[in-house]
């Protein structure tokens, strides 16, 4: 097991390069099965979830290797559509392989996927959508999806589920005619998936809006393809909330800075300066302490992202003022707050809301319980006075590549130790 030792109170200053988006890369790895050839994914972080998805590709008959930060996938020899139980149960994104397997083989078999412990994670929206286009689904310990002849339909999702949108975009490529998805997810990761699928020969439009049209029947291109995903808006937000908690000046390259409204929410309440240096490079200066954020409610994109809720909450704990966070995507996503309270945070959870009164934090020994909850504990420790210890950082490694090195390069006193 590994832990981070952090000595808090140090400003963050310097250049930060945002990795490609984890939540784009994971469905792209699934979608490469449709390509049945070579795909190179650029600026790809070797995070644990990416490795698990690549191991799933290998278990189905494909292969992968890393050349620096380029992930080379080769899915020509993928021959199985039965997902391996152990790997599938490690991450939620394994579920997003169903759509790709149905597109290529007409079949998929999967055990219930794993994923972060952030509350109930049913798959009914996936199943209902797939059944609507003619996929037969049997639900025992394994879920068997079979659909040779699929029907192009108009499908309205009861909730804009990111994964269900991605699964339906890929499965519908097997349906004759044009499938129309309504009330679907609008995240930038959906736009990335559309860009990739069109690159390999699909005809999909509307990603990023609430309506996506998929023209059935795809003959994947034969030539190798290369793809640069969008930058990771959640890693970007994580480092911005860290800097807002301790003060400092960052130079960041990311197209997300001008696109994401969570940035404006952050800046609206905080004494900070932002200006464009050139292209996608921005200067962002934070003066301590951050001011409370008032009321923030998470929701489907373009609302405030649930994946930044823990990081904002941690920043609010060392701010001046009151913050009320309402979680409307994963109502039980506040398990990390009891760990934040060990730093002396004045944060109270009521059902799907957390009320924070900012103040000074002190060092503590805490334990990460999930990916973004772990990131919030790092932010708490960075702003706490004295030394802190964060155990079980394997959760953090699922979504952040060598985060301790990136924070150290900015002046944080953080190191990794075994225990
Ligand atoms: C994706 O998960 C992301 N993961 C999550 O990021 C992110 O929090 C989530 O979207 C919401 O933005 C990846 O992309 C790998 P959903 P996904 O289906 O697709 C309910 C991170 O930290 N729901 O949009 O699984 C569900 O329980 C991770 O990087 C159903 O009820 O999320 C939740 O309440 C965590 N039935 C809501 O919808 C279903 O069939 C949103 O889930 C599917 C979902």
**pLDDT one-digit tens code per residue, 98-137:** 999 999 999 999 987 777 777 778 899 999 999 999 999 9
CATH code, domain carrying 44 = 3.65.10.10
Q: Based on the structure, what is the number of domains in the chain?
A: 2
Nearest CA residue ID for atom 16, ligand 1: 161
Nearest CA residue ID for atom 28, ligand 1: 307
Nearest CA residue ID for atom 7, ligand 1: 307
Instruction: Please indicate, yes or no, whether residues 235 and 221 belong to a single structural domain of this protein.
Output: no
Annotation says 354 is catalytic: no
The preferred substitution site among 121, 131, 234, 397 for testing ligand 1, maximizing ligand atoms within 8 Å of CB, is: 121
Which residue among 54, 103, 116, 317 is the active-site one? Answer: 116
Of 284, 307, 295, 300, nearest to 355 by C-alpha is 295
CB 78 within 8 A of CB 104: yes
Burial class (CB within 10 angstroms; exposed 0-12, middle 13-18, buried 19+) of 387: middle
DSSP 343: G
Instruction: Please indicate, yes or no, whether residues 248 and 334 belong to a single structural domain of this protein.
Output: yes
Q: How far apart are CA 250 and CA 15, in angstroms?
A: 6
Check residue 288 and give its pLDDT: 73
Check residue 414 and give its pLDDT: 98
Instruction: Please indicate, yes or no, whether residues 260 and 319 belong to a single structural domain of this protein.
Output: yes
**Can you read off the two tokens belonging to residue 120?**
């109930």
Instruction: Please indicate, yes or no, whether residues 196 and 284 belong to a single structural domain of this protein.
Output: no
ω before 349 within 30° of 0 (cis)?
Answer: no
Instruction: Please indicate, yes or no, whether residues 199 and 213 belong to a single structural domain of this protein.
Output: yes
Instruction: Please indicate, yes or no, whether residues 246 and 383 belong to a single structural domain of this protein.
Output: yes
Check residue 399 and give its pLDDT: 96
Coarse DSSP helix, strand, coil percentages of the chain, rounded to the nearest 5 percent: 35, 30, 35
The preferred substitution site among 130, 161, 335 for testing ligand 1, maximizing ligand atoms within 8 Å of CB, is: 161
Nearest CA residue ID for atom 1, ligand 1: 162
- Given the CA of residue 123, which atom of ligand 1 is nearest to it? 40
Query: Can you say whether the dihedral through the CA atoms of 168, 173, 175, 179 is positive or negative?
Result: positive
Instruction: Please indicate, yes or no, whether residues 341 and 364 belong to a single structural domain of this protein.
Output: yes
- Given the CA of residue 49, which atom of ligand 1 is nearest to it? 15
Separation of CA 7 and ligand 1 centre (Å):
34
Instruction: Please indicate, yes or no, whether residues 274 and 334 belong to a single structural domain of this protein.
Output: yes
Domain endpoint, select from 197, 227, 257: 227
Nearest CA residue ID for atom 11, ligand 1: 162
Instruction: Please indicate, yes or no, whether residues 104 and 192 belong to a single structural domain of this protein.
Output: yes
Task: List Cα–Cα distances, 74 to 1, 28, 65, 85, 127, in angstroms.
Answer: 32, 13, 9, 22, 28
Pocket around ligand 1: residues whose beta carbon is below 6 Å from it? 22-23, 26, 92-93, 116, 120-126, 159, 161-164, 306-307, 329-330, 371-372, 399
The preferred substitution site among 22, 162, 260 for testing ligand 1, maximizing ligand atoms within 8 Å of CB, is: 162
Separation of CA 161 and ligand 1 centre (Å):
6
Instruction: Please indicate, yes or no, whether residues 130 and 248 belong to a single structural domain of this protein.
Output: no
- Given the CA of residue 306, which atom of ligand 1 is nearest to it? 8
Domain endpoint, select from 227, 256, 277: 227
- The whole domain housing 327 covers 2-19+231-418
Separation of CA 371 and ligand 1 centre (Å):
14
- Given the CA of residue 330, which atom of ligand 1 is nearest to it? 34
Tell me the pLDDT of the chain (419 aa) as tens digits: 999 999 999 999 999 999 999 999 999 999 999 998 999 999 999 999 999 999 999 999 999 999 999 999 999 999 999 999 898 888 888 999 999 999 999 999 998 777 777 777 889 999 999 999 999 999 888 889 998 889 999 999 999 999 999 999 999 999 999 999 999 999 999 999 999 999 999 999 999 999 999 999 888 998 999 999 999 999 999 999 999 999 999 999 887 777 666 666 666 666 678 888 888 888 989 887 778 888 999 999 999 999 999 999 999 999 999 999 999 999 889 999 999 999 999 999 999 999 999 999 999 999 999 999 999 999 999 999 999 999 999 999 999 999 999 999 999 999 999 99
Instruction: Please indicate, yes or no, whether residues 223 and 276 belong to a single structural domain of this protein.
Output: no
Instruction: Please indicate, yes or no, whether residues 73 and 12 belong to a single structural domain of this protein.
Output: no
Domain endpoint, select from 171, 193, 227: 227
- Given the CA of residue 122, which atom of ligand 1 is nearest to it? 36
DSSP string, 119-144: S----HHHHHHHHHTT-EEEESSEEE
Of 8, 21, 16, 2, nearest to 400 by C-alpha is 21
Q: Which residues contact 258 (CB under 8 A, 6 or more apart)?
A: 276, 280
ω before 302 within 30° of 0 (cis)?
Answer: yes
Where do we find the tokens 């699934």?
Answer: 30
């Amino acid at each position: 097991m590994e832990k981070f030792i952090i000595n808090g109170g140090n400003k963050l200053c310097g250049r930060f390069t945002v990795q490609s988006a984890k939540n784009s890369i994971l469905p792209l790895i699934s979608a490469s099965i449709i390509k049945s050839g070579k795909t190179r994914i650029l600026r790809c972080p070797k995070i644990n979830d990416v490795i698990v998805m690549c191991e799933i590709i290998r278990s189905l008959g494909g292969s992968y290797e890393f050349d620096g930060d380029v992930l080379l996938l080769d899915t020509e020899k993928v021959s199985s559509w039965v997902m391996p139980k152990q790997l599938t149960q490690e991450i939620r994104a394994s579920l997003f392989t169903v759509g790709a397997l149905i597109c290529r083989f007409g079949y998929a078999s999967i055990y219930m996927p794993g994923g972060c412990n952030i509350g109930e994670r049913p798959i009914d929206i996936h199943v209902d959508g797939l059944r609507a286009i003619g996929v037969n689904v049997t639900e025992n310990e394994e879920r068997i999806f079979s659909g040779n002849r699929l029907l192009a339909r108009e499908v309205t999702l009861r909730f804009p589920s990111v994964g269900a949108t991605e699964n339906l975009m890929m499965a519908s490529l097997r349906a004759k005619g044009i499938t129309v998805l309504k009330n679907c997810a609008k995240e930038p990761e959906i736009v990335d998936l559309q860009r990739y699928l069109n690159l390999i020969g699909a005809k999909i439009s509307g990603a990023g809006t609430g309506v996506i049209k998929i023209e059935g029947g795809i003959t994947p291109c034969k030539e190798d393809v290369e793809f640069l995903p969008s930058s990771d808006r959640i890693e970007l937000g994580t480092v911005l909330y860290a800097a807002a908690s301790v003060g400092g000046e960052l130079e960041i390259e990311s197209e997300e800075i001008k696109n994401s409204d969570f940035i404006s929410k952050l800046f609206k309440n905080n004494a900070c300066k932002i200006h464009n240096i050139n292209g996608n490079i921005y200067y962002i200066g934070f003066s301590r302490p951050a001011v409370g954020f008032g009321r923030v409610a998470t929701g489907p994109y373009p609302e405030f992202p649930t994946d930044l809720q823990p990081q904002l909450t941690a920043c609010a704990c060392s701010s001046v003022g009151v913050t009320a966070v309402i979680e409307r995507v994963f109502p039980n996503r506040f398990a990390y707050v009891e760990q934040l309270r060990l730093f002396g945070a004045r944060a109270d959870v009521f059902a799907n809301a957390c009320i924070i009164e900012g103040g000074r934090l002190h060092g503590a020994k805490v334990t990460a319980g999930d990916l973004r909850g772990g990131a919030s504990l790092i932010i708490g420790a960075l702003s706490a006075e004295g030394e802190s210890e964060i155990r079980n950082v394997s959760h953090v490694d699922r979504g952040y590549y060598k985060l301790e090195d990136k924070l150290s390069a900015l002046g944080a006193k953080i190191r990794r130790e075994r225990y």
